């Protein structure tokens, strides 16, 4: 594996990732069914000076204004939200907690007096954020809450605010930032992002590490390891000149491999906050690991890079049954590159130890019979499975194996050099027929396109591996319910996905980018594409590829261009990157 120098984003992905960064935050929410945003260029990151504090209640304000003022007062960076409490009656002021979660609603909410002393608020529910900063998509649901008010010294005040904050989406986006707590994939090869939303300010480093120590979100927990379980912060994290000191307690300093994993988790997690070096201490004493300096950087833990890619991971695609490579359309080595097998889709895996391409799996449709072929990269392939249909195969960077879905509901994994094995997917059959399956680069999650009662939709589940060797795909959850007619999906990295889906404004298919938890749904530009895209391939630090008009295109600087600039587009379908 090789790590890219400098910032771990490709030039095109920086613009898209910036949009996600500006649209997210800490203890709160994520819009999945809110209106999508068309991106033409990277927006300017909002200033860190976000302290636009709300106003106290106006004298004589009617009930609707009091309720609106209370919701607006949630957009405060002051601990305990003292202005919001001014809108509450005395008893409610004492009992109300602002730390039990956040509900994010659309900014065009309505507050209507239904009877004297009662105001009902209705809005589109963007999503909710729990106390650990984990977002859940609101789906197509509406938010409705009734507030009771009474007069206190001639002024209306709320008596039953309910727990937590209710905040309008623009205020949430202004005050909160998306960060990831990093856990370990089950092989211990790389860190896996778990999105959290944190309020801006100097307390972010401590808050983010506390989220890490709290453990992974419930949806991800069974698919990762957390060596930091049971560990606590001994004191607040200090940061000076992009250098942080993290003092832990409750942690044994041996064995060294576990300590190395812990250091990698902390350094990669804090790197998001532009912290370049981290000194990790245990009960006040600096951690000492052979070959690792006292002030650690992500370069010291490059082997855990969440965006690492094989050296040979150039784009691949299928053309007239043959496996071809980017950028010049040269045949892949071996019989697969000659068209001998008549492939309709394929995937290539790299050896996790060496990074060299080592394993290929492809789908062949011939004489009404569909088969799955597998074998060493560049060598002869053999039939390993038959069926009436197979999804295009998918691989992760952490294991030499490919996954497919056979006949719409049977999830199968094909380890290199071994027989296919069934993967338990207890909820898949009840959702509909699966049309696509894509493993995340770290192998902790899988995305699926499932054609259900409302049409093809996007789901993300967690990959769980038991000690007895059993493997399951669990907790499939819809993450972008506002999208319709989803046709394909590819992972940009472990925390975000490209999706091909219908454009609600026009009768066409367009690409989108969305966070793994459903936050930040944005429409990707289609400039340069001659027709609708039909399949998409992506990978960390690589230019996204699509097939449109049975030609291969790549996204560079917001425009889809040919593989060789200025040359004619090359024919092909089903693009992908090896992992």
Asked if residue 33 has pLDDT above 50, the reply is no
User: What does the pLDDT read at residue 73?
Assistant: 97
Question: Domain residues of the chain, as ranges?
Answer: 37-175, 180-304, 316-576
Confidence tier at 367 by pLDDT (50, 70, 90): confident
For the ranges 50-64, 249-263, 330-344, 400-414, the lowest mean pLDDT is seen at 249-263
The mean pLDDT of 178-192, rounded to a whole number, is 97
User: What does the pLDDT read at residue 506?
Assistant: 85
Q: Give helix then strand counts, H and E, for the chain.
A: 8, 41
Among the listed residues 499, 505, 557, the one whose alpha carbon sits nearest the alpha carbon of residue 528:
557
User: What does the pLDDT read at residue 453?
Assistant: 95
pLDDT digits (tens, 9 = 90+) for 199-239: 999 999 999 999 999 999 999 999 999 999 999 999 999 99
The mean pLDDT of 127-150, rounded to a whole number, is 94
Torsion of the alpha carbons at 315, 320, 321 and 323, rounded to the nearest 10: -20
Confidence tier at 251 by pLDDT (50, 70, 90): confident
Asked if residue 50 has pLDDT above 90, the reply is no
pLDDT digits (tens, 9 = 90+) for 530-570: 999 999 999 999 999 999 999 999 999 999 999 998 899 99
Mean pLDDT (the chain) is 90
CATH code assigned to 316-576? 2.120.10.30
Asked if residue 434 has pLDDT above 60, the reply is yes
CATH code assigned to 37-175? 3.10.450
Measured between alpha carbons, how far is 71 from 75 in angstroms, rounded to an integer?
8
The mean pLDDT of 337-353, rounded to a whole number, is 96
Confidence tier at 368 by pLDDT (50, 70, 90): confident
User: What does the pLDDT read at residue 263?
Assistant: 97
User: What does the pLDDT read at residue 140?
Assistant: 76
User: What does the pLDDT read at residue 52?
Assistant: 78
Confidence tier at 406 by pLDDT (50, 70, 90): very high
Asked if residue 67 has pLDDT above 60, the reply is yes
243 contacts 297 by C-beta, under 8 angstroms: no
Asked if residue 45 has pLDDT above 90, the reply is no
Measured between alpha carbons, how far is 167 from 158 in angstroms, rounded to an integer?
16
Provide φ and ψ at 41, rounded to 5°: -155, 165
Beta strands in 53-209 (DSSP E): 102-105, 110-115, 118-129, 135-137, 142-152, 155-158, 165-168, 176-185, 191-199
32 contacts 569 by C-beta, under 8 angstroms: no
> In the chain, what percentage of residues exceed pLDDT 90?
86
User: What does the pLDDT read at residue 487?
Assistant: 98
pLDDT digits (tens, 9 = 90+) for 87-97: 999 999 999 99
User: What does the pLDDT read at residue 51?
Assistant: 55
296 contacts 269 by C-beta, under 8 angstroms: no
pLDDT digits (tens, 9 = 90+) for 454-501: 999 999 999 999 999 999 999 999 999 999 999 999 999 999 999 999
End-to-end CA separation in angstroms for the chain: 10
pLDDT digits (tens, 9 = 90+) for 494-519: 999 999 999 988 889 999 999 999 99
């Amino acid at each position: 594996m090789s790590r890219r120098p400098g910032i771990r984003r490709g030039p095109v992905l920086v613009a898209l990732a910036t949009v996600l960064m500006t649209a997210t935050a800490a203890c709160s929410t994520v819009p999945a069914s809110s209106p999508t945003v068309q991106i033409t260029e990277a927006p300017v990151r909002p200033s860190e000076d976000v302290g636009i504090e709300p106003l106290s209640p106006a004298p004589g304000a009617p009930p609707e204004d009091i309720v609106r003022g209370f919701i607006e007062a949630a957009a405060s960076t002051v601990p305990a939200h003292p202005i919001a409490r001014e809108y509450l009656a005395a008893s409610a002021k004492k009992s109300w907690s602002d730390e039990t979660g956040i509900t994010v609603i659309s900014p065009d909410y309505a507050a209507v007096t239904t009877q004297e002393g009662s105001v009902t608020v209705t809005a589109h529910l963007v999503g909710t954020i729990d106390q650990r900063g984990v977002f859940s998509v609101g789906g197509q649901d509406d938010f409705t809450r009734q507030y009771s008010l009474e007069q206190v010294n001639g002024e209306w005040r709320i008596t039953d605010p309910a727990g937590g904050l209710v905040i309008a989406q623009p205020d949430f986006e202004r005050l909160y930032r998306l960060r990831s707590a990093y856990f370990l994939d089950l092989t211990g090869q790389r860190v896996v992002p778990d999105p959290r939303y944190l309020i801006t300010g100097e307390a972010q480093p401590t808050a983010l590490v506390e989220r890490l120590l709290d453990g992974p979100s419930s949806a991800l927990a069974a698919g990762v390891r957390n060596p930091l379980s049971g560990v606590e912060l001994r004191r607040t994290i200090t940061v000076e000149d992009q250098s942080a000191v993290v003092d832990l307690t409750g942690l044994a300093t041996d064995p060294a491999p576990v300590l190395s994993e812990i250091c990698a988790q902390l350094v990669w997690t804090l790197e998001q906050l532009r912290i370049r070096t981290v000194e990790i201490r245990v009960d006040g004493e600096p951690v000492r690991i052979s070959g690792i300096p006292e002030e650690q950087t992500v370069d010291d833990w490059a082997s855990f890079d969440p965006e690492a890619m094989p050296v040979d991971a150039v784009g691949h695609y299928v053309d007239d049954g043959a496996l071809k490579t980017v950028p010049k359309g040269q045949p892949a080595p071996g019989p697969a590159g000659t068209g001998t097998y008549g492939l309709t889709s394929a995937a290539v895996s790299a050896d996790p130890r060496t990074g060299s391409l080592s394993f290929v799996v492809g789908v062949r449709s011939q004489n009404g019979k569909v088969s799955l072929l597998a074998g060493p990269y560049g060598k002869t392939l053999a039939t390993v499975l038959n069926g009436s249909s197979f999804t295009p195969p998918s691989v992760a960077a952490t294991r030499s194996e490919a996954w497919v879905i056979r006949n719409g509901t049977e999830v199968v994994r094909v380890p290199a050099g071994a027989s296919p094995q069934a993967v338990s997917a207890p909820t898949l059959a009840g959702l509909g027929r699966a049309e696509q399956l894509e493993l995340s680069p770290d192998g902790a999650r899988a995305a699926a396109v499932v054609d259900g009662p409302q049409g093809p939709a996007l789901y993300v589940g967690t990959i769980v591996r038991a000690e007895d060797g059993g493997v399951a795909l669990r907790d499939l959850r819809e993450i972008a319910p506002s999208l319709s007619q989803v046709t394909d999906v590819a992972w940009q990295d472990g925390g975000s996905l490209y999706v091909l889906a219908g454009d609600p404004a026009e009768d066409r298919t367009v690409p989108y980018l969305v966070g793994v938890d459903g936050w930040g749904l944005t429409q990707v530009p289609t400039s340069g594409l001659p027709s609708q895209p039909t399949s998409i391939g992506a990978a960390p630090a690589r230019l996204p590829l699509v097939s449109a008009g049975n030609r291969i295109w790549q996204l560079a600087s917001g425009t889809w261009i040919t593989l060789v600039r200025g040359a004619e587009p090359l024919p092909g379908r089903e693009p992908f990157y090896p992992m």
